[in-house]
């Protein structure tokens, strides 16, 4: 059966797949009230449920589509740029709303992640996107998750209105420096992107207060905050520059998340782009480093020793290898920050260790029972009945022990 | 020796009532045999009336809420030893160490956490991988899902489904029990007939289209997919029928993206 909507969906989900920020973040709790007879959906408080996984290992949590892939801009890394010969399509407001609701009712998704190419003008585009979010919220009482990728250069009024309906807003910075933007996204301006982020940051903060002086709760405004994405490996920026940009975004713009997307070849690519994809391991190491910077108390200089991260070892292990003089660490005595620096101990394990320590001394047996990665931990720790043989920490062959680092150990902990 | 037979699944309420009585009579764990009968009856948290007479001398034991939550999850596990384990932990929390639950390496606590964790995971997967299909029932939209949890996870997730799909009419069928929701009332039915679940749905083809197009063929990571979505869940997820083809064609698709790029 020939179905126009199927065709549009093919084109507009295909175009959205290059965006890495797929997960739905936390945005508090929400549900239809007792007397609400039409509303649908809920936010459970945690991160969104992964309703499926695709063969690339990614979680399917949201209906991630472009409203349209027509675009008047010419960003080289983007399949939708005006000079690309890709097939074009556009969803109507009604089609997008109905698709979202129909998917939601079947328990396929947590909500909608909508971005768009720029049609007509930034404002016209942004206005249609806001209409979709508004219709979901107001006409249909939709309580699920909405993430809008706001259009750079759209008016502050429209950005503000978007925040009333969306749980999260994002603007992609795309490249860590203006120099790279000039080359790869000539119409985009880092200053303008930052000032949009600033406006949103202030709005989000304004609406965060519990009650205004009049005693009324302010309306919700993008309770899930802002996020952004950088493309890795299309330009020549090194890891220190990239992570430096992230640190700034986290501290100054109060972003919730920076996503890294290893450049992957796109159909009909522009010739300024490299022909080869950036290695996925680089993207993975950047996520690990980002994590350590935000939650493990590491500084940028500690994490990136040279200009690039170590691709062979996860950044925490790499730090430990460079700083072996601080080891072994006594798991029964070390403070939390120090425990967090031990390769093989995740944040949750550290919590557990601290809890157990209040009642009893940790022994090697306890570590086995907690199913910790003992092989990895061995050279770095002491417990009541164990300390590492001196040769484990010494000698030039130290690194050889970690020749085949397991992937994903950081997030698995 | 006392033998207690739990006659319902998951059996939380029966266990709670029996445990309270045993505690009141100071029966130590090693003197109780817990067994469960095959028969299946209604047993929802807090929905069944208590039939046991209250014990005469009421000794109030305060049990931390975190412990009770662990029991709730652990008791939804299939493992027949769950009743004995929970009573033993209850006994030890009261008479041995009120912080027992913090001793993460204690054998009983390890086992309790293992059970609770398995149930939590199973219940999470149910809220994630369950798929509704739409039918018209008495002229109204009605959504039906068939799902086979590993444990008694329907009980854990009823709140979630009632909240999220409050204004929808739906039925969730599992091999041991079904829950029917008409936007106001929840009705439970034991051993439901799976054949009432429809074979198709008018929106499913859009979902399949979306699923095929949203993935990036240049980055196959099958093992990552399988660890989050093991094959045992595939049966009732329509999109999983596409996976083999998607992987088989990914190379060609990815290469095409690159050669297309080289043409210019
Ligand atoms: S503005 Fe967005 S959609 Fe348009 S070419 Fe640039 S990145 Fe692509």
DSSP annotation string for A240-277: HHHHHHHHHHHHHS--SEEEEEE----TT--TTS-SSP
Q: Distance, CA A16 to ligand 1 centroid (Å)?
A: 11
Report the CATH number at residue A42: 3.20.20.70
pLDDT attached to residue A25 = 65
pLDDT attached to residue A410 = 38
Are the beta carbons of B206 and A269 separated by less than 8 Å?
no
Which residue does chain A place closest to B256, by CA atoms? A267
Residue A352 has pLDDT above 80, yes or no: yes
Chain A, 245 to 284: residues with Cβ < 8 Å from chain B are 264-271, 273, 275, 277, 280
pLDDT attached to residue B52 = 46
Nearest CB among A13, A273, A358 relative to B213 is that of: A13
**Whether residue A327 sits in one domain with residue A239:** no
Judge if the beta carbon of residue A71 lies within 6 A of ligand 1: yes
Residue A27 lies in a domain: yes
Q: Distance, CA B236 to ligand 1 centroid (Å)?
A: 38
**Whether residue A240 sits in one domain with residue A172:** yes
Which comes out higher in pLDDT, residue A23 or B181? Answer: B181
Are the beta carbons of B218 and A277 separated by less than 8 Å?
yes
**For all residues of chain A together, what is the average pLDDT?**
87
Residue A340 lies in a domain: yes
Residue A209 lies in a domain: yes
Judge if the beta carbon of residue A73 lies within 6 A of ligand 1: yes
For A8, other C-beta atoms within 10 Å of its C-beta total: 22
**Which of A21, A66, A75, A263 has the most ligand 1 atoms within 8 A of CB, as the residue to mutate?**
A75
Are the beta carbons of B105 and A53 separated by less than 8 Å?
no
Judge if the beta carbon of residue A339 lies within 6 A of ligand 1: no
Which residues in A lie closer than 8 A to residue B210 (C-beta atoms)? 9, 13, 63, 65, 103
Are the beta carbons of A99 and B103 separated by less than 8 Å?
no
Residue A291 lies in a domain: no
| Confidence label for A1 from pLDDT (cuts 50, 70 and 90) | very low
pLDDT attached to residue B249 = 87
CA angle A134–A46–B217, rounded 5-degree value: 80
Q: How far apart, in Å, are the Cα atoms of A388 and each of A108, A368, A375, A377, A384?
A: 50, 16, 11, 10, 12
- pLDDT, mean of residues A210-238: 79
pLDDT 10s digit of each residue in chain B, 264 long?
Answer: 889 999 888 999 999 999 999 999 999 999 999 988 754 445 545 444 344 444 555 567 888 888 999 999 999 999 999 999 999 999 999 999 988 988 888 999 999 999 999 999 999 999 999 999 999 998 999 999 999 999 999 999 999 999 999 999 999 999 999 999 999 999 999 999 999 999 999 999 999 999 999 988 877 889 999 999 999 999 999 999 999 999 998 888 777 666 654 433
| pLDDT tens-digit readout, A379-394 | 899 999 898 877 776 6
pLDDT attached to residue B53 = 47
Peptide bond into A328 cis (omega under 30): yes
Residue A245 lies in a domain: yes
Judge if the beta carbon of residue A80 lies within 6 A of ligand 1: yes
Domain ranges of chain B: 2-122, 130-196, 204-262
| Confidence label for A35 from pLDDT (cuts 50, 70 and 90) | confident
Residue A288 lies in a domain: no
pLDDT attached to residue A192 = 85
Cβ atoms of B22 and B165 within 8 Å: the answer is no
Q: Whose CA is nearest to atom 5 of ligand 1?
A: A81
Tell me the residue length of chain A: 413
Q: Distance, CA A20 to ligand 1 centroid (Å)?
A: 15
DSSP for A203-232, written as a single string: HHHHHHSS--TTSPPPPP--TT-EEEEEEE
| Bridge partners (DSSP) listed for residue A259 | A229
**Whether residue A367 sits in one domain with residue A273:** no
The span from the CA of A281 to the CA of A146, in Å, is: 30
- When divided into structural domains, chain A yields a total of 2
**HSE toward the beta carbon, residue B82, CA cutoff 13 A:** 28
Are the beta carbons of A365 and B214 separated by less than 8 Å?
no
Angle between helices B107-129 and B154-164 (to 10 degrees): 40
pLDDT attached to residue A297 = 92
pLDDT attached to residue B264 = 35
Q: Whose CA is nearest to atom 1 of ligand 1?
A: A73
Which residue does chain A place closest to B129, by CA atoms? A51
Greatest mean pLDDT among A15-29, A223-237, B45-59, B219-233: B219-233
Mean pLDDT check: name the lowest of A120-129, A169-178, A394-403, B127-136: A394-403
Mean pLDDT check: name the lowest of A21-35, A52-66, A257-271: A21-35
- Testing the interface with B: which of A91, A108, A144 to mutate, by most B Cβ within 10 A? A108
Residue of A9, A216, A344 lying closest to B214 (CA atoms) = A9
Would you call A351 an interface residue with chain B, using a CB distance cutoff of 8 Å?
no
Would you call A85 an interface residue with chain B, using a CB distance cutoff of 8 Å?
no
- Predicted-complex ipTM score: 0.89
pLDDT attached to residue B39 = 44
**Whether residue A326 sits in one domain with residue A207:** no
**Which of A14, A69, A81 has the most ligand 1 atoms within 8 A of CB, as the residue to mutate?**
A81
Domain of residue A88, residue span: 3-278
Q: Distance, CA A319 to ligand 1 centroid (Å)?
A: 38
Are the beta carbons of A9 and B210 separated by less than 8 Å?
yes
Of A231, A256, A278, which residue is a domain's last? A278
Which comes out higher in pLDDT, residue A217 or A38? Answer: A38
CA angle B241–A283–A380, rounded 5-degree value: 110
A181-A183-A187-A189 Cα dihedral, nearest 10 degrees: 30
Q: Work out the minimum CA distance from A371 to partner chain B, whole angstroms.
A: 10
Helices of type H across chain B: 12-24, 65-74, 82-95, 107-129, 154-164, 204-214, 222-228, 243-262
**Whether residue A86 sits in one domain with residue A180:** yes
**Whether residue A369 sits in one domain with residue A273:** no
pTM: 0.86
Q: Work out the minimum CA distance from A47 to partner chain B, whole angstroms.
A: 12
Would you call A216 an interface residue with chain B, using a CB distance cutoff of 8 Å?
no
Nearest CB among B223, B237, B261 relative to A266 is that of: B261
Q: Which atom of ligand 1 is nearest to the CA of A117?
A: 3
| Bridge partners (DSSP) listed for residue A226 | A169
Are the beta carbons of A107 and B131 separated by less than 8 Å?
yes
**Which of A11, A15, A65, A71 has the most ligand 1 atoms within 8 A of CB, as the residue to mutate?**
A71
């Amino acid at each position: 059966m020939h179905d126009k909507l199927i065709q549009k969906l093919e084109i507009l989900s295909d175009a959205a797949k290059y965006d890495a920020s797929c997960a739905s973040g936390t945005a508090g709790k929400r549900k239809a009230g007792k007397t609400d007879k039409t509303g649908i959906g809920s936010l459970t408080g945690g991160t969104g449920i992964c309703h499926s996984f695709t063969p690339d290992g990614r979680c399917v949590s949201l209906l991630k589509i472009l409203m349209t892939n027509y675009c008047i801009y010419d960003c080289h890394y983007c399949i939708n740029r005006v000079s690309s010969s890709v097939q074009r399509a556009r969803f109507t407001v009604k089609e997008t709303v109905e698709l979202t609701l129909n998917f939601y009712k079947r328990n396929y998704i947590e909500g909608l992640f909508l971005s768009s190419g720029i049609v007509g003008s930034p404002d016209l585009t942004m206005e249609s996107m806001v209409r979709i979010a508004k219709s979901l919220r107001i006409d249909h009482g939709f309580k699920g998750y909405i993430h809008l990728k706001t259009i750079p250069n759209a008016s502050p009024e429209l950005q503000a209105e978007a925040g009333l309906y969306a749980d999260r807003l994002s603007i992609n910075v795309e490249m860590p420096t203006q120099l790279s933007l000039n080359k790869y996204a000539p119409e985009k301006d880092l200053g303008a992107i930052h000032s949009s982020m600033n406006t949103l940051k202030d709005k989000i903060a304004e609406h965060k207060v519990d009650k205004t002086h009049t005693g009324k709760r302010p309306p919700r405004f993008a309770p899930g905050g802002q996020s952004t994405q950088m493309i890795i490996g299309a330009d020549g920026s090194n890891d220190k520059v990239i992570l430096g940009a992230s640190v700034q975004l986290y501290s100054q713009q109060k972003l919730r998340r920076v996503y890294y997307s290893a450049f992957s070849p796109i159909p009909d690519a522009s010739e300024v782009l490299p022909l080869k994809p950036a290695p996925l391991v680089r993207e993975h190491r950047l996520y690990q480093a980002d994590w350590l910077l935000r939650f493990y108390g590491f500084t940028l200089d500690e994490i990136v020793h040279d200009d690039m991260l170590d691709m062979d070892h996860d950044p925490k292990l790499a730090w430990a290898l460079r700083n072996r003089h601080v080891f072994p660490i006594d798991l029964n005595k070390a403070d939390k920050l120090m425990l967090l620096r031990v390769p093989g101990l995740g944040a949750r394990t550290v919590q557990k260790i601290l809890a157990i320590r209040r009642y009893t001394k940790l022994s090697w047996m306890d570590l086995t029972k907690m199913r910790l990665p003992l092989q990895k931990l061995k050279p770095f720790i002491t417990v009541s009945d164990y300390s590492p043989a001196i040769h484990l920490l010494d000698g030039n062959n130290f690194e050889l022990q970690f020749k085949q680092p397991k992937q994903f150990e950081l997030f698995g902990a | 020796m006392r033998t207690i037979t739990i006659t319902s699944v998951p059996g939380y309420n029966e266990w709670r009532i029996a445990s309270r009585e045993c505690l009141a009579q100071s029966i130590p764990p090693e003197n109780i045999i817990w067994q469960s009968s095959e028969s299946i009856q209604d047993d929802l948290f807090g929905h069944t009336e208590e039939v046991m007479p209250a014990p005469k001398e009421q000794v109030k034991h305060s049990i931390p809420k975190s412990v009770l939550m662990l029991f709730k999850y652990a008791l939804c596990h299939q493992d027949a030893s769950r009743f004995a384990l929970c009573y033993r932990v209850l006994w030890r929390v009261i008479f041995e160490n009120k912080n027992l639950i913090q001793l993460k390496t204690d054998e009983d606590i390890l086992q309790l956490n293992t059970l609770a964790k398995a149930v939590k995971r199973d219940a999470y997967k149910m809220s994630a991988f369950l798929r509704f299909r739409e039918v018209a029932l008495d002229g109204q939209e009605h959504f039906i899902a068939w799902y086979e949890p590993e444990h008694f996870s329907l009980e854990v997730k009823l709140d979630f489904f009632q909240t999220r799909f409050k204004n929808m009419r739906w039925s969730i069928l599992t091999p041991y029990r079904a829950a029917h929701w008409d936007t106001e009332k929840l009705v439970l039915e034991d051993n439901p007939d799976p054949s009432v679940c429809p074979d198709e749905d008018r929106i499913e083809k859009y979902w399949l289209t979306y699923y095929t197009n949203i993935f990036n063929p240049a980055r196959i990571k099958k093992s990552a997919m399988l660890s989050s979505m093991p094959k045992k869940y595939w049966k009732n997820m329509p999109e999983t029928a596409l996976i083999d083809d998607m992987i088989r064609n990914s190379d060609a698709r990815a290469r095409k993206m690159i050669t297309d790029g080289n043409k210019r």
